[in-house]
Amino acid sequence: MNQETEAPLPFDLTEPQQMLRKMVRELTERHIAPRAAEIDESEEYPEDIYQLLKDQGLLGIFFPEEYGGGGMGFMGGCIAIEEIARFCSNSPIFIVLNMLSSRVIDLSGTGEQKKHYMTGLANGSLRGSYALTEPHAGSDAGNIRTRASLEGEEWVINGQKCFCTGPDKADFITVAAKTDPSAGTRGITYFIVPTDTPGFSVGRHERKMGMRGVSTCELFFENAAIPKENQVGELNRGFRTAMIGFNQMRPAIGARAVGLAQGVLDYALGYAKEREAFGVPIAQHQAVQFMLADMFMDIEAARLLVYRAAAMVDAGKIGKENARYFSTAKTFAADMAMKAAVDGVQILGGAGYMKDHPMERFMRDAKQIQIVEGTSQIQRMIIARNLLDL
């Protein structure tokens, strides 16, 4: 039923980027697309997909070559994420998690930390996760209550995290904790916590609407002691580093949204050409045509925003002064994907509501993109404050 819409490549992608796009597309259509519905239905971690991406060098496609990566930057990462997300929103999470768990390490870690963890993530010998959100502190990061206290040569961590992606399969978690409880966002430090640390445990696996192939869990730290050298970056400066890391991450989340919406459009086009109503394919009815046209326009606009943001990351333009561009790319793409998914279900009518077609899965997965890495509402606050220089 898939009917692909080809468009001119934005920004005149380089030959290696075009080759990457073609390779990932073929890989996804052959190996990932047939598994997408089963991954969602079974709610089982797709180890085979992880190994596939590992074998193809895609887990570290965005890492510098010095760490064993593909050296294709965040633009390359976004291209790969987008192509995979056209059929399966779960599978690109493996690339996204490698990006997310490595951001503060890449930005402020020691040379030894970068070499060990970024190389391990790139070659698949290590799996990482990231923990900031707590039951009472999501977007309000300054209100986290997890504490880290220096006791001799060890940091001892106590607290709870929630909505952590993939920690049950991770070898380490990049964890935000308060090291100065009275200082708000200026009292946060990041730590690398190996998952075999005594006192660390993974709690409840959340039951989710979508994105069901990779777990979302609670985390508990009960006098979890880690070596002093597992501190990442300067003491109490973690929040600033994390915000720069989020600027880097937002194009990647936007790429997931663009890929998902492209998958919706491709499927809806094919269905509209085959399904008949009133004696003609529904594609000949203006109401359907307008929905398809709007979907196409919105996807093209979102893709350009995401690719520009990715290009800015690769150019090192990731500071606070440019936060509006990263938040714009993520927000526009996320909201666009949700609208596209809802319209895709509508185009299929009753069939769109059934699990025989991927539309209902696309719709459930799209909602998650509007929430992760800062909700669409929080992103609008960031954009406005950045414009107003607040």
* Cα angle for residues 331, 344, 300 (degrees, 5° grid): 45
Domain boundary, last residue among 236, 259, 278: 236
Q: Are residues 311 and 384 in the same domain?
A: yes
320-330 b/e with 16+ CB inside 10 Å = b?
eeebbbbbbbb
Note the residue count of the chain. 390
Give the per-residue pLDDT at 1.
46
Is 173 within the bounds of a domain? yes
CATH number for the domain that contains residue 162: 2.40.110.10
Full domain range(s) for residue 195: 128-236
Residues of the chain with pLDDT under 70: 1-11
> CA torsion, points 15, 252, 328, 376, in degrees to nearest 10?
160
Rounded Cα distance, 111 and 338, in Å: 41
Residue 14 lies in a domain: yes
Residues 6+ apart with CB under 8 A from 384: 390
**Cβ 176 vs Cβ 141: under 8 Å:** yes
- Cα separation, 201 vs 221, in Å, equals 7
Instruction: Collect all residues with Cβ–Cβ distance below 8 Å to 157 and sequence separation of at least 6.
Output: 146, 147, 148, 175, 177, 191, 193, 199, 200, 221, 223, 224, 225, 226
User: Of these residues, 82, 134, 218, 373, which one is catalytic?
Assistant: 373
Say yes or no: 261 and 362 in one domain.
yes
Question: 308 lies in a domain?
Answer: yes
pLDDT at 9: 55
N- to C-terminal Cα distance for the chain? Answer: 49
CB of 67 closer than 8 Å to CB of 122: yes
Residues 28 and 104 in one domain: yes
Q: Same domain for 360 and 251? A: yes
What CATH code is carried by the domain that includes residue 78?
Answer: 1.10.540.10
> Is 210 part of any domain?
yes
Would you state the pLDDT for residue 128? Answer: 98
Task: Tell whether 102 and 141 lie within a shared domain.
Answer: no
The 10s digit of each residue's pLDDT in 160-204 is 999 999 999 999 999 999 999 999 999 999 999 999 999 999 999
Q: What is the distance between the alpha carbons of residues 130 and 219, in angstroms, rounded to a whole number?
A: 11
Largest CA distance in the chain: 79
| Residue 1 falls inside a structural domain | no
Same domain assignment for residues 244 and 211: no
359 in the same domain as 249: yes
> Domain end: 123, 141, 161, which one?
123
In a shared domain, residues 275 and 177: no
Answer whether residue 3 is part of any domain: no
Q: Which amino acid is at 294?
A: D
Q: What six digits make up the tokens of 269?
A: 């086009």
Element (H, E) at 266: helix 238-274
DSSP letter string, 84-130: HHTT-SSTTHHHHHHHHHHHHHHHH--HHHIIIIIHHHHHTS--EEE
Q: Are 71 and 65 in contact (CB under 8 A)?
A: yes
Give 283's contacts (C-beta < 8 A, 6+ positions apart): 269, 272, 273, 289, 292
Judgement on whether residues 371 and 255 belong to the same structural domain of the protein: yes
Backbone angles phi, psi at 75, to 5 degrees: -65, -45
| Residues 114-128: b if buried by 16+ CB within 10 A, e if exposed | bebbbbbbbbbebbb
The verdict on pTM exceeding 0.85 is yes
DSSP 297-321: HHHHHHHHHHHHHHHHHHTT--SGG
**Domain contains 4:** no
Positive or negative, the CA dihedral 113, 214, 211, 46 is: positive
Burial (CB count <10 Å: 0-12, 13-18, 19+), residue 31: middle
For residues 204 and 261, membership in a common domain is answered with no
Confirm whether 6 is a catalytic residue.
Answer: no
The answer to whether residue 5 sits within a structural domain is: no
Query: What dihedral do alpha carbons 361, 367, 371, 376 form, nearest 10°?
Result: 150
Closest CA to 33 of 15, 20, 46: 46
Query: CA dihedral in degrees (137, 138, 140, 146; nearest 10)?
Result: 40
The number of folded domains in the chain is 3
> 145: closest CA among 168, 164, 163, 162?
162
Tell me the pLDDT tens digit for each residue of 276-286. Answer: 999 999 999 99
Structure tokens at 263: 């998958």
372 and 268 within one domain: yes
For position 190, what pLDDT does the model report? 98
Whether residues 258 and 231 share a domain: the answer is no
